[in-house]
Amino acid sequence: MNVHTKKYLIDGPVGKIEVALDLPDEARENGAAPRGIALVAHPHPLFGGTMDNKVAQTLARTLVQLNYVTYRSNFRGVGQTQGEHDAGIGERDDLRAVLDHMRAQPGHEELPLVLAGFSFGTFVLSHVAAKLRDEGQAIERMVFVGTAASRWEVAPVPENTLLIHGETDDTVPIQSVYDWARPQELPVVVIPGAEHFLHRKLHILKRIIVDAWR
C-alpha cells in the first residue's frame, strides 16, 4: 500500500493469517492516539481478490487519513494466509481472529471500531458484525462498497452503514442492492458511470467516505 505498511502473520483457526497494518501519520511519528481502529475485508479470493485490491487499498488509505489504525487481512488460501476457501463461512472466524488481535494491541481495547468491505468482503463482514452486535460489542460505523447482495445472503447492517455502489456495476447489479437496502431503510450512494471495481472513480469513493465523516 505504501512504504509504511507493515505485513505480518498471526495465528488463525486453521493456520496463519496474513495481515497488513497501516498507522495514521501522527500515530506513527509521535505515538499520538488514533481516532479508532478499522478492519478492511477484500473481494472474492477465487476471482483474484486480495487485501491489495485497489478498492480495499483505497478504503484503508481513506480510513488512515481519517486517523484510524487500519488493518487488512488476506482470506484463506490468499497470499500467505493458510487454509482453503470456505465460501465465506470459515472466513468469518478468520476475521474474528484478526479483530481479537486488533483489540489485544496496547491502547486499542476500547477504541471505536470501523468495519469496511468490498464485494465478497461485505458478505463476510456483515455476518461478523451481526455476531458482534449479538454479543453487545459496539461498532462505530460500517462502509460497504459493491455490496454483494445479488450473490450471497448479506446480513442486515446498522442504520448508519455507508453503502456505496457503482451505477453500471454488472457484477452486482444495483437493483439487488436496492432490494436488500429497502427493507432496512438504508440510503445507497451511487457513483454515476462506475462499474464494480470503480475504475477511474476511486477518488470519488474516497471523497464520499471523508464527507460522510464530517
CA distance linking residue 23 with residue 44, whole number of Å: 26
Q: What local confidence, expressed as pLDDT, does residue 79 receive?
A: 96
Q: What local confidence, expressed as pLDDT, does residue 50 receive?
A: 97
Q: What local confidence, expressed as pLDDT, does residue 6 receive?
A: 96
Q: What local confidence, expressed as pLDDT, does residue 26 receive?
A: 80
Per-residue pLDDT of 74-95, as tens digits, reads 999 999 999 999 999 999 999 9
Q: What local confidence, expressed as pLDDT, does residue 1 receive?
A: 53
**Long-range contact set of residues 186-194: C-beta below 8 Å, sequence gap at least 24:** 186/157, 186/159, 186/161, 187/163, 188/163, 188/164, 189/162, 189/163, 189/164, 189/165, 190/165, 190/166, 191/164, 191/165, 191/166, 191/167, 192/167, 193/166, 193/167, 193/168, 194/166, 194/167, 194/168, 194/169
Residues of the chain with pLDDT under 50: none
Per-residue pLDDT of 96-115, as tens digits, reads 999 999 999 998 999 999 99
Q: What local confidence, expressed as pLDDT, does residue 27 receive?
A: 75
Question: What kind of fold does domain 6-212 have according to CATH?
Answer: Rossmann fold (3.40.50)
